[in-house]
Structure 1
């Protein structure tokens, strides 16, 4: 991936941060996006302010931000080889308490953000003769947890899984590969945001009896970025979460 151009949404913390760091270490050009400009700047400085990284702060739920990300990649690096749709929102709430504004929040950020950023990227990739998109879903789409009511965000992530397969079918002939990574419980600021004080307490949801690290999702993203004969797949990186549980 040296000298390839990568766009990563939600790149200031957690999984997105780890993905951006790995690709920078591999010699890629990286356009880093986050809704939080200060946090994005802080991450950039933590990385050592690399010359091959460019920052674009903005809310990915707005289609204009997806267009801006692609335009920035072209302006600075002349192309976009890979889009990683990582930015997303997640918050558990009982189904009967979900209101329209709750559902809209997840559909806007998770589904619409992924949809329209991909649309902008694919327009450019068609001109280039190929490219790759990696979406971030969740294993909860295929393996729900009764004690974790999250119908609204899981529905939006399920739509991303379906979108992945459809786009892979539409654009396979154009040498554009689209895949999804479905993480299990990954150590990130997300756990604190949803009220989980000790993320390691969720280790038993995985057969490996531990939670995952952001770097492990980044490694999966790097594999898919370099895999020329893989498209339309949902790649579970979840320590056996969908197979069984440790109790």
Structure 2
């Protein structure tokens, strides 16, 4: 019996991350699922690895556990992320450490280890970073300097890594969502959030999952920032 492909998903306990676990299992992948407090799965092909991705050594441990359980790593989806909206001068040192910890350090270590595994096993691989449409289309109604600082960095490193590893079969892409209907957004904010999009609605979790699965099956696409944002990045 051949080893199935293996996807690693961070921020996997709810929202987009939980939906991605289900989607990759339907594709026949084994899944390594990480979040700060994630319950063990009844599915033997899902390995839950709890830990704060912003903390040193956690990213390495997630990949090591995946290799121990399933023997390879084929895809990494850097889904874990934090969004703190404040006027720029109101951000604290704690805000900065929190957001950069999850959004940047959380990307850095686990991506290094995943790419090392992909290189050592041969056959290439795929890294997908979840960023935000606000990087390209800032909005005066949504102050988001720390999101732009960190997620803008992820957009840039997506292109850098895509070119660095293109000849070795590792693709690196990003999905830049608009505002998605997840538990992060209270229901009373939905009307305001819907109006931020030219199409007049919030995105659904399935919109983002479908985009990631498209990228999974697009071997000629790398270095792409795929906007799934109801037209936000085009203007309003």
TM-score by length of 2: 0.94
Task: State yes or no: 1:72 paired with 2:65.
Answer: yes
Q: Is the 8 A contact 1:171 1:177 kept in 2?
A: yes
1:86-165 correspondence runs (5 A): 86-129=79-122, 130-165=124-159
* Structure 2 counterpart of 1:57: 50
- Give, in angstroms, the shift of residue 106 of structure 1: 1.1
* Structure 1 counterpart of 2:188: 197
User: How far, CA to CA, are the matches of 2:56 and 2:222 in structure 1?
Assistant: 25
**Higher deviation after alignment, 230-239 or 63-72:** 63-72
User: How far, CA to CA, are the matches of 1:12 and 1:219 in structure 2?
Assistant: 18
- Give, in angstroms, the shift of residue 181 of structure 1: 0.4
**What residue ranges of structure 2 are gaps of 5+ in the alignment?**
none
SS of match in other structure, 1:41:
coil
1:164-175 correspondence runs (5 A): 164-175=158-169
1:226-245 correspondence runs (5 A): 226-245=217-236
Q: How many residues align?
A: 233
User: How far, CA to CA, are the matches of 2:221 and 2:23 in structure 1?
Assistant: 21
User: How far, CA to CA, are the matches of 2:191 and 2:74 in structure 1?
Assistant: 36
* Structure 2 counterpart of 1:5: 6
User: How far, CA to CA, are the matches of 1:199 and 1:13 in structure 2?
Assistant: 19
**Higher deviation after alignment, 135-144 or 168-177:** 168-177
- Give, in angstroms, the shift of residue 107 of structure 1: 1.0
- Give, in angstroms, the shift of residue 26 of structure 1: 2.0
SS of match in other structure, 1:62:
coil
User: How far, CA to CA, are the matches of 2:206 and 2:26 in structure 1?
Assistant: 12
User: How far, CA to CA, are the matches of 1:26 and 1:95 in structure 2?
Assistant: 42
User: How far, CA to CA, are the matches of 1:191 and 1:181 in structure 2?
Assistant: 19
**Higher deviation after alignment, 92-101 or 81-90:** 92-101
